[in-house]
Amino acid sequence: MYNKNKKTWGLALAALTSATLLSGCSSAFDWLASRNLDTPDGVTEVNGLRADVTIRRDDYGVPFIEADSLHDLAFGIGYAMAEDRLAQMVSMNLLARGRLSEMTGELALDMDIYMRTLNIPQVIESRYQALTPELKNLLQRFADGVNAYQDAHADRLPMELVINGYTPESWQPSNTLGLFVLLNLGVGFNLHEELAFLQMAEKFGTEKAAYLAPVYPDEPIDFAEADKLAGVNLAGAVSGQLSYLQQVADKLSTLTGNGIAASNNWGVAATNTQGGKTLVANDTHLLLSQPSTWILMGVKSPEYSGVGITLPGIPAIVAGYNGHIGWGETMVMADTQDIFLEQLRTRDGQREYLYQGEWYPLQKRSETIRVKGADDVVMEVESTRHGPLLNPAITGQPKHEMIAIPYQSEYGLALSWTAQFEDDTIGSFFNLGKAKTMDEAEKALNGVGFIHLNVIYGNEDNVAWQVTGNYPQRKQGSGHFPSPGWSGEYDWQGYWGGENTPRVRNPQSGLLGTGNNRTVEPGYSPVLTSSWYYPERSERIMQMLKAQPKHSRESMQAMQADRKDILVAKVQELWATGPWLQMIDNALADMPEAQRVKAERVLGSIRAFDGEMAEDSASAAIWGGFEHTLLREIFIDDIGSDDSQLWSALMALNGRAYSGYQDHLLGRTTPAGDWAPFWDDATTAEVEDPGQIIVRAAAATWDYLTALQGQDSQHWQWGKMAFYHWKTETTHMLPYLDPVKAMVVGKLAEYTDRGPYPAGGNRNTLNVAGYDLGSDYEVWNIPAMRMIVDFSQPEPLQLVIAGGQSGNPASPHYDDGIDLWLSRVNRSLPLNSDEAVSSHFTSVRTLKSSSQ
């Protein structure tokens, strides 16, 4: 049987454990990290170049790589990227391939099982094999650059790898495809919503559970989708599996931002700008992590040039400016994953599933996972025509007790995912970077099938919005909630996308903007999604764009810094209407005097609040505290406990799409005209109305804030509650470690992590600060970059990321970007002028072929 205590992190970790725990300082970590640093100037000899490659760096360590050919440019990108983020690249590649346990031990085993179940290693390889020879050559040259750096630093690898006792393999060209797969998982949400809905439906029934996953404020509750499961007995059917899957999803989200609603972008036509040229702005909302998700880069060769952001491991600009076109992205919130409930049985030793009245054998494949410090784990993955069963199914020895959950019912959970459809996403992104005209950019975006984005792009005279991605065509239903697999009624019939996705160029208003909102009319068919994000950010974008006739990069920057929550004004307007005003007044009149005084203070503050979620604002603290207590007052009587898996599922629903909480708050009623069902307190005999729950939450808010910040409400501040904390992937795993390892990682975190810093904003503000509403105020969803392209300027691009360029804690560029990001001011990155590039990127390293 498997022994948890058998695992080890290797001799390096043992030595560092002793040094750090006994000394109580970070000197050992600093020594180890410093060994990996190189000076940014000089000449470095490498094998494989046709001509010299120049890697310039600026005051924040941002590289600008120049070469005489794309062949050598890709090599230089690989070398520079490995210097900045090798450890991050290695860990993300292992995660994508379901091999992270090889480096970290059983801590990552459940995540590896999940990735293998989805068959992601095969997805990666099949997509790589479909690439053109030119793209394969590009990725090979990038890999050569990564490996040249790795070989030159074999005796002084990044600290994270040394601590784990892990020597990485040579970088493979196909690894880049794995990072695109992770990006796809990170921008896919509906799988999480479907898992959460099943848990809610098991508890409350499908009709009541549907109120926890509304589509949009102006659309009816999706009873039609929920009715698919109305005749299915979910009681106890999948609870064990769902709990496990939700735990794995939660752990994955700490590393990848899986399921985060990401980003704002907008464009202003030349006729609407002070400079007479187009403006494009973008801020992607991703996981707050250290190092940042994004990496900055400038590149230049005869075939390919640009400045912008990319992911470590991808040798192409993902968003930025190429000298002709500027572009940025947000999530569509696409529904590209469907769960099918499958009826299962075992007959004569053969496992089967039911489909249209007949039983079919489950398809099976075996996966072997190497686990550091333990025996290999052999797992068997079963699949139906709808995809792999997500239910954990591990065979062989040893079985890990946390993973080996036996089938507890007749139901399996099969996943259909658009990963099965062929596309040319990586080639299309590369072509987008090369595009010189709007038509070329549109054609490139037509080929982006695997990632589902709202892209706003432009040149100096034009601006456009375009949706990317391949979307499933379903026989019936929208895919919002899980479907019975046995009937065949909800099967996929191929896909649509490409040149048929929604788009517009040069709208009459001259204004474009998205914020993960519904961008098409209700009922749009085929379905993009039913999981749009809260509408307030997109509404605020258009509100600010329309507020002045002519815009500039300064007004774009002000929009990116904006922290006004316009939900407050909606609530104020609603509460001023007769029925709501009467409900609240009646409920106040029924309260004991001491409680009524507290409630009136809170409600008075909210009614006078301008919605500015500034760090030093007492009114913002009261609003934030009220939302915390109101959510709990509405739902916790039904959920039962805030430490339950059901509560975690509610948190997932509330934080990642338009939620039942906000839908209740904005006045949702039933078809019969009653208030939405969760307003009623399930622990009492009477039926409460919203006014009673609101005043109860208001009084509780006063007590809650007093306990947090003291008696003097004049000194309450939002930034004393909401905070940013830059944490490494290792620190994020602390809740899952045993006490000894947690002690070591805690010591390491003192060296690697930065913060906390007071935060402003919330989930509804353009300068987003997403946290688990109703749980705590640690901000995990932030603008991971802020970009403005002002075509009226000689050097149009302004860009920052949420952190430093380097992943090495000993580097000055590990955290120097944090203060810049907190300032909410962008900085220019030149491309067009050789003189501007040379004066900005002043440190110069030359990669010289050792064969020259």
Active site residues: 263
Q: Hey, how many other C-beta atoms are within 10 angstroms of the C-beta on 154?
A: 9
Q: Which amino acid is at 91?
A: S
**β-pair partners for 338:** 416
Element (H, E) at 442: helix 438-446
Can you tell me the distance from the alpha carbon of 279 to that of 484, in angstroms, rounded to the nearest whole number?
47
**β-pair partners for 551:** 273
List Cβ<8 Å contacts ≥24 apart for 565-568. 565/536, 565/611, 565/613, 565/623, 565/761, 565/762, 565/764, 565/765, 566/536, 566/539, 566/540, 566/611, 566/764, 567/534, 567/536, 567/611, 567/662, 567/665, 567/764, 568/606, 568/609, 568/610, 568/611, 568/623
How far is Cα of residue 287 from the mean position of the Cα atoms in its chain?
6
| Alpha-helix residue ranges (DSSP H) falling in 118-205 | 120-129, 133-152, 159-163, 175-186, 190-204
Can you tell me the distance from the alpha carbon of 183 to that of 91, in angstroms, rounded to the nearest whole number?
14
Can you tell me the distance from the alpha carbon of 429 to that of 418, in angstroms, rounded to the nearest whole number?
18
How far is Cα of residue 849 from the mean position of the Cα atoms in its chain?
40
Can you tell me the distance from the alpha carbon of 281 to that of 232, in angstroms, rounded to the nearest whole number?
47
Pairing assessment for the beta strands 53-57 and 42-46 based on DSSP bridges = unpaired
- Respond yes or no on whether the N-terminal peptide bond of residue 526 is cis (omega within 30° of 0): yes
Angle at 155 between CA 152 and CA 158, to 5 degrees: 85
285 Cβ contact partners less than 8 Å away, ≥ 6 residues apart? 260, 261, 262, 263, 264, 768, 770, 781, 782, 783, 784
Can you tell me the distance from the alpha carbon of 188 to that of 177, in angstroms, rounded to the nearest whole number?
17
Q: How many residues does the chain have?
A: 852
Can you tell me the distance from the alpha carbon of 821 to that of 292, in angstroms, rounded to the nearest whole number?
11
Q: Measure the N-to-C terminal CA separation of the chain; round to a whole number of Å.
A: 58
